[in-house]
Amino acid sequence: MSEPFDVVDVIRTKRDRGLLSDAQIDWVVDAYTRGVVAEEQMAALAMAILLNGMQRDEIARWTGAMIDSGERMDFTSLSRPTADKHSTGGVGDKITLPLAPLVAVFDVAVPQLSGRGLGHTGGTLDKLESIPGWRASLSNAEMLAQLDDVGAVICAAGAGLAPADKKLYALRDVTGTVEAIPLIASSIMSKKIAEGTGALVLDVKVGSGAFMKELDQARELARTMVGLGTDAGVRTVALLTDMSVPLGRTAGNALEVRESVEVLDGGGPRDVVDLTVALAVEMLAAAGRPVGEDEVRAALADGRAMDVWRRMIAAQGGDPDAPLPTARHTRDVVADRDGVVDRLDAYSVGVAAWRLGAGRSRKEDPVQAGAGIEIHARPGETVRAGTPVLTLHTDTPERFDRALEALDGAWTVAQDAPARGPVVLDRID
- Residues designated as active site: 86, 165, 172, 187, 191
| 350: Cβ contacts below 8 Å, ≥ 6 apart | 90, 91, 119, 120, 121, 122, 209, 246, 251, 359
**CA dihedral sign of residues 113, 232, 33, 20:** negative
The alpha carbon of residue 99 and the mean position of all alpha carbons in its chain are separated, in whole angstroms, by 13
Kindly write down the DSSP assignment for every residue of 193-233, as one continuous string.
Answer: HHHT-SEEEEEEEESTTSSB-SHHHHHHHHHHHHHHHHHTT
Can you tell me whether residue 427 is helix, strand or coil?
strand
Kindly write down the DSSP assignment for every residue of 57-98, as one continuous string.
Answer: HHHHHHHHHHHHTS-----TTSSS-B-EEEE---SS--THHH
Q: Maximum CA pair distance of the chain?
A: 74
Burial bucket for residue 283 (CB in 10 Å: 0-12, 13-18, 19+): buried
Can you tell me whether residue 286 is helix, strand or coil?
helix
